[in-house]
Homo-oligomer: A and B are copies of this chain.
Amino acid sequence: MKTIKISEAVVRRLPIYLRFLNELSKKNVQTVSSQDLGVKLDLNPAQIRKDLAYFGEFGKKGIGYDVDYLIEKIRQILKLDKVIPVALVGAGNLGRALCNYNAYLKDNMKIVAVFDAQENKIGESINNLKVKPMSELNEVIQEAKVRIGIITVPAAEAQQVADRFVESGVEAILNFAPLIIKVPSEVRVHHADFTTELQSLAYYLD
C-alpha cells in the first residue's frame, strides 16, 4: 500500500466506520452504500466517499461497498491486521474499566500488562491480569513488545508515567489524565479526556 499522509480527522473516523461495518457483517449484510453509512453515522455521504477514496477504489457505483472487503481494508490501514500489545498504568476505576474492554478489542489489540505505583494494588487481579509494580515496567514492556501505553493515573502523576513509557520504548500513548503531557516528537499522543468530550457536546445544546 502506498504511504499517504491522512488527516487526523479521517483517521479518527475510520474506527467508527469499522465498528458499524462489523455490526453489518455480523448480520450478514453484504453491501452498504455511502448513503446508508451517512444516515447511520450522521455524516455527509460525500464526506464518507472522500474518506474511503484515500485508500483506493473500494466502492462500486450503484451497488456500494462490499462490507467484508471494506472491513479488511480498514483493518489493514489501521494496522489492526497485526497483533498490537498494549500496557496500562493506573489500576483505579478507569484502568479497570478499560481492562474490561479487552474482550471488545478482539485478538488484534490487547492490554497485556497493568502497572500501578501503589503498593496495595500490586498483585490484584483485573480481568486475568495481575497488577505489577512500576519497577518492572521497562522489562515487561520490552519482553511483551508493547507498542502503545495507556495512562489512567491522576493528573499529577501523568507526566512521570509518560516519561517512563517513553524510556521503555513505547511508540504511542493514550492519555486519560486531564493534563497535556510532553513527549518527544516521535511518540504519538492522543488525549482521551472525558471533560473535553463533555465540553464539545455542550456546544450543541440550544
Contacts and interface: CB of A to CB of B under 8 A. Distances in A.
Interface of A: 6, 8-9, 11-12, 14-16, 18-20, 23, 40-42, 77-80, 84, 86, 92-94, 96-98, 100-101, 104-105, 109, 147-148, 150, 152, 171-172, 174, 178-180, 188-206
Contact of A101 (B16, B148, B179, B194): B194
A199 B78 contact: yes
Contacts of A40: 180
12 contacts: A12-B200, A14-B203, A19-B180, A40-B180, A79-B202, A79-B203, A80-B202, A109-B195, A109-B198, A148-B198, A171-B206, A192-B197
- Say how many copies of this protein the assembly contains: 2
A178 B101 contact: yes
Contacts of A78: 199-200, 202-203
Nearest to A183: B42
Given A174-B198, A178-B101, A180-B19, A9 B11 contact: no
